Structure 1
Amino acid sequence: MAAADDLPTYKDVADAAAVLAGVAHHTPTETSRTLDDQLGVSCFVKCENMQRMGAFKFRGAYTAVNHYLNDADGKELKGVLTYSSGNHAQAIALASTKTLGIPSTIIMPTDAPTLKLKATQEYGGNVVFYDRYTEKRDEVAQKVKATLPEGTVFIPPYNHKYVIAGQGTVGKELIEDLQSKSIALDYLFVCVGGGGLISGISLAVKELSPKTQIIGVEPEAGNDAQQSLEQGQIVHIETPKTIADGAQTQHLGDLTFDIMQRNVSKIITVTDEQLVDEMKFFGERMKMIVEPTGCLGLAGLRKLVSSGEIEKGAKCGVIISGGNVDLERYCKLISSTI
């Protein structure tokens, strides 16, 4: 169990919203008559692909860096270290180096998407590579940290109080925007990698719309979260091979797992083929480029509608986590059968 002091609460999410005001984008919630007609539900799509650096990760990264920059113990922040397959990497580089002028070192896998690698470097991040299939990134991070100046802090992609709180602002915005139109969600579908997004969102949703059921969606090839909730303990898996690179995590964190156990109704899985179908739908019908990981939520909703588990007329929220995908790879994925 995570220590109580490390666990974020809704107050931390609200505080994060205040920190992010005027810094992060308040992203739109879009609808599609075609989608509603196809599924027989009312669908509300929160577009974090339109967030700064193209993904929700900016929210958590900036919230965490801001916390250390203004830490009450008076220690000077000399640098930020993290590891990431891409979106958190970009977020840390943008939040710390590009925005606040604090050096950032990012440990990235050798097979990280070119677009995400290039953007991380352009935001000023110093990239160190590792092989995600043969090396353990925690061990690489320890070695790298020993070479960095004292005063460098490590901010992980998801298992961090202020990262989770920042990600939770996605849910706060969505629920408040819909409530302003007298809309209450029955279900909310959220992608799952390490659990930072869904755990943060769940804190906001359970506070503001407690009857809403939160459903996590992860790749079929990497269902560690599903296994973890079913077994009541964190399950570790080998790095999954999936096109959803943002969900190629091996396990949940103790913080995210604790929150998910209390707030998430269930975890379901979808195939890479289903993700490609949703990439095509977003591109063709909603005119948006969405990365494979960002399609997990809609693929999960469509799966449960098809199985009859979602009632007709239900009000369903879907989170698009990001839109960062190499255009060459995007074109190959939507024009081929996996």
Structure 2
Amino acid sequence: MSKLEQFVQNLKDQQLLLPIWFEKGALKLINQKELPHKEEILTIKKVENLAEAIRNMTIRGSGAIGIAGAWGLYLAALNSGGTREEMQRAARLLKSTRPTAVNLMKTIDEMLSGVNGVEKMPIDRMEAKLIEILERQLQFEHSLGSYGANLIDDGETVLTHCHSGALAGSGYGGRALSVIRKAYEQGKNIRVIACETRPYLQGARITAYELQKFGIPVTLITDNMSGYCMSKGMVQKVVVGSDRVAANGDLANKIGTYMHALAAKEHNIPFYTATSSHTIDFSIQGGAGIEVEFRDAQEVTSLNAQRLAPMGVEALYPSFDITPNGYLSGIITEKGVITQPYAINLQTLNRRVAH
């Protein structure tokens, strides 16, 4: 058994919900589009197939597609013998799949950095870099989960939006669900309200699925119920994930996040995002500079290939929205909880990570 195979087996022994792994010369990934009714495992042997799986959200979530990018570069190295040309081609293809997801871009660049100046990248070096990234991502989830759990009090109900859990990360709890899972493991009597997250229903299909597996009590609501629930005192904290955080703390997350932040602000409910330092993009000064991915409008007019709206009706699907930093009570990272002034404190975090 190779070092990589031993590493993957160790992850499985930890009872993690792995979104993607390597087995018998190919990538394996859970088809998140089929959850919760079917736990289908796909076999991926070509980078093109992985790119399509990322693009069509068969695998999704900032952490998960970040490590999928790393796995994709490793797969490209295996298939090509590690040639620089093929690695660069694979990197361009994978980066084109989800333009808002900075974690994907950074992870691919980190994997690709090893081929600079060489015609062929030794497979064992790619394997070592991949293991390093996977170990770090998993540690991120445990660390930010611990910091975030300190913000959750016994008896509280936490509202979350979309899916920022194990299958959206490295297998433990991703971002927001790392916080919730750690709080629950600490023995705190907590409940979760999960927003269903139209139009793709990640909250209904995947967040609720994971919380059930973890044994954490969960109540599902439609996205437009959050303001009502907050006004009735049913929510004490809001914790969401993130797809990108600008240098000033502006948050890009699944469409609908801004709406929940507005309601939380009105009702004086703390609103946090859980993210790794890898997702903070210091090249973008504010949310206006973040590219928002627009997806096929048919995902709004139809559900599971069943038409919902009349034929000919136009629809709009910005996949993310921007929540201004003033609505955030804090940014939970693997290095601690960052608060205002974000432009200064995030730069301090950046220097700490660099050293």
TM tier relative to shorter chain: 0.3 to 0.5
TM-score by length of 1: 0.36
Whichever of the two has the greater Rg, that structure is 2
Q: Report which structure shows greater RCO (CA 8 Å, sep ≥6).
A: 1
TM-score by length of 2: 0.34
